[in-house]
Structure 1
Amino acid sequence: MGGTVKESNQVSGYLVWFLIHGVQTGIGMLNFQEKIAHGAEQDAWVSLLFVGACMHLLIWMLFRLMRMAEGGDIFSLHRQLFGPIVGNGLSGILFFYCVLICTGQIRPYGEIIHVWVFPDAPLWQISIILLAVAGYIVSGGFRVVAGICLLCVVIPSLVLPSLYFPLKIAHWLNFLPLWNHELGDYAKSAVQSVYIYLGPEFLLFYYPFIKNNTKAQRWAHLAVAHTTLLYMTILVTTLSYFNIRQLKHTLWPTLILSKIIRFAFLERFDYIYIFNWLLIIFPICCMSIWAAVRILTQTLKISRKWALGTTTLVIIGMVLSLRTPVSIERMEHVISLVGGAFTFGYLPLLFLVALGRQATKRRRSARSS
Structure 2
Amino acid sequence: MEKQVKESLTVSPYLLWILIHGTQMGGTLLIFQSRIVKGAEMDSLFSFAAVGISFHFIIAMMFFLLENAPDGDLISLHNQLFGKRLGSLLTLAFYAYILLFIVNELRSYMEVIHVWVFPYTQLWMLSLMFLLTAAYLVSGGLRVITGILFVCIIVPTLLIPTLYFPLKQAHWTNFLPLFNHSPYEFAESAYHSLSTLLGVEFLLLLYPFIKNQKKSKKWAHLAVAHSTLIPLIIAFVSFSFFNIQQLEHTIWPTLILSKVIRFPFLERFDYIYIFIWFFVIISACCVGMWGGVRILKKTVGLKAKPSLWLTSGIVFVIMLPMKSPMTIEKLDSAMTLSGWILLYGYIPLLCIWVSLNKWFNKRKSIPNER
TM-score range, shorter chain: over 0.9
Q: What code does the residue aligned with 1:290 have? A: W
Q: CA deviation at 1:157?
A: 2.5
What are the residue-to-residue correspondences of 1:1-369 with 2, within 5 Å? 3-369=3-369
Q: CA deviation at 1:155?
A: 3.3
- Separation in 2 of the partners of 1:278 and 1:144? 17
Q: CA deviation at 1:197?
A: 1.0
Q: CA deviation at 1:274?
A: 0.5
- Separation in 2 of the partners of 1:214 and 1:82? 27
Given the two structures, how large is their TM-score scaled by the length of structure 2? 0.98
Structure 2: gaps of 5 or more residues: none
Are the counterparts in 2 of residues 297 and 304 from structure 1 also a CA contact under 8 Å? yes
Q: CA deviation at 1:125?
A: 1.0
The 3-state SS of whatever aligns with 2:320 is helix
Given the two structures, how large is their TM-score scaled by the length of structure 1? 0.98
- Separation in 1 of the partners of 2:153 and 2:121? 28
Q: What code does the residue aligned with 1:256 have? A: I
Are the counterparts in 2 of residues 92 and 295 from structure 1 also a CA contact under 8 Å? yes
The 3-state SS of whatever aligns with 1:28 is helix
The 3-state SS of whatever aligns with 1:81 is helix
The 3-state SS of whatever aligns with 1:16 is helix
Are the counterparts in 1 of residues 81 and 87 from structure 2 also a CA contact under 8 Å? yes
Q: CA deviation at 1:213?
A: 1.1
Are the counterparts in 2 of residues 195 and 340 from structure 1 also a CA contact under 8 Å? no
The 3-state SS of whatever aligns with 2:5 is coil
Q: What code does the residue aligned with 1:145 have? A: I
The 3-state SS of whatever aligns with 1:216 is helix
- Separation in 1 of the partners of 2:239 and 2:265? 29
Are the counterparts in 2 of residues 152 and 282 from structure 1 also a CA contact under 8 Å? no
* Identity of matched residues, %: 47
Structure 1: gaps of 5 or more residues: none
Further displaced range: 313-322 or 181-190: 313-322
Q: CA deviation at 1:151?
A: 2.2
How many residue pairs match? The answer is 368
Q: What code does the residue aligned with 2:219 have? A: W
Are the counterparts in 1 of residues 26 and 281 from structure 2 also a CA contact under 8 Å? yes
Are the counterparts in 2 of residues 63 and 214 from structure 1 also a CA contact under 8 Å? no
* Cα deviations by residue, 1:124-181 (Å, 9 ceiling, x for unpaired): 1110111111101111111111121122221343222110000111111111001010
Q: CA deviation at 1:302?
A: 0.9
